[in-house]
Amino acid sequence: MNQNQFNGKLALQQRVLPAYRATFFDLLAEAFTGGLSVFAGQPQSDENISTAQELRVAQLVLTKNKHFFRVQSPFYRCYQSGIIRWLERWQPDALIVEANPRYLSTPSAIRWMHARGKPVLGWGLGAPQVIGRLASWRLRAREKFLHSLDGIIAYSQRGAEEYRQAGIPVERVFVAPNASAPRPQYPLPERPREFAGKPRLLFVGRLQERKRIDILLQACSALPQGLQPELRIIGDGPARAGFEHLAQEIYPAAQFNGAHYGAELKADFIWADLFVLPGTGGLAVQQAMAFGLPVIVAEGDGTQGDLVRSENGWQVPDNDVDALRAALIEAISDAPRLRRMGAESYRLVVAEINLERMVGEFVNALNSLVRLR
């Protein structure tokens, strides 16, 4: 068996198909001799998720999602109509599903595959502690769902350990580091050993409250005058006006340049000395690393832990201005070290965190499950 390919057809279920996943699914389709079919619906109107409406290589089957409660609620549930009809038409040799017990139609898809002796692999963030209302009931539901799977892929090492602690056998837990971009096909960008004037900080992302640009502005304004950087904020979104108003009050040097793509965005990454993600989310972290930038990120769901290490950046507590300020001072007080950290970011993206590696781990996981079965 070619370890870089899976001999057969793959089906993959998603509640929604974010636009940033399209490249990954097309690359994944090329690793399956029979191709890939993706089954996905639409988000709720207030989720602010940009979705893909087509795929270049993989087949995309759009379904109707029926949502119960808001997605932020612990009681949220989603039913995806037509999932069995999709499987009957595609006749896959393996199925990957989101490892989320809140999707009511997924168990029927798992049973359909198992009745035909075919493996089902989950894919998820991990199994963190369950708290709040009906926590014990929700925990039992999650454990029952996870144990119905033949194996599971985690986004990160931390997520994998949570699945093991939930009782999933070690040999059935896999890690595919969450990537958003292919391996760079260009050399490490050259930057001068010392800063050319003020240090240059960059943020790229959708401007929502959870991105915490307010924390970044407060941290920059609290820096000693001689260390205050140029700050370029790339992106648009519903919170932009509020962030701009705050910047005028406390850090007027901040530049809000709107959304950039392609060559414009590449120029932003090359311009910068340091990338900062003060809130949650952050697909641009890997992009920044691919351009040789050290990074400062807020601690979140654990997926940043595999990307951001002491050799290439800093992880700071959520919503902590003082911690972010301290990390900024440490970063921009030593330009030569910052350049070395940027080179390590680039090395990590070339060698470890990229879409090609992610595809390879998915293929390895499915081939391993076939051998186990």
| Residue-level pLDDT at 248 | 97
In CATH, 10-179+354-372 is 3.40.50.150: no
Alpha carbon dihedral 196, 201, 206, 211, in 10-degree steps, equals: 180
Q: For domain 200-351, is the CATH number 3.40.50.2000? A: yes
Average pLDDT over residues 283-306: 86
- The pLDDT of 258-271, averaged and rounded, is 95
Confidence class for position 95, pLDDT limits 50, 70, 90: very high
Q: Distance (Å, rounded) from C-alpha 175 to C-alpha 76?
A: 27
- Domains 10-179+354-372 and 200-351 are alike in CATH topology: yes
Rounded CA separation 25/259 (Å)? 25
pLDDT for the residue numbered 301: 56
Q: Please give the structure tokens belonging to residue 105.
A: 């139609």
Q: Would you kindly state where each structural domain of the chain is located, as residue ranges?
A: 10-179+354-372, 200-351
Q: Name the pLDDT band for 72 (thresholds 50, 70, 90).
A: confident
pLDDT band at 1 (very low <50, low <70, confident <90, very high): very low
Look at residue 36 and give its three-state secondary structure: strand
107 half-sphere exposure, CB direction, 13 A CA radius: 12
Residue 126: pLDDT above 90? yes
Average pLDDT over residues 93-98: 98
Query: 75 vs 56, which has greater pLDDT?
Result: 56
pLDDT digit string, tens, across residues 318-339: 889 999 999 999 999 999 999 9
From residue 211, alpha-carbon distances to 217, 246, 318 in Å are: 12, 14, 11
pLDDT at position 147, please? 97
pTM of the model: 0.89
Mean model confidence pLDDT for the chain? 94
Residue 2: per-residue pLDDT: 53
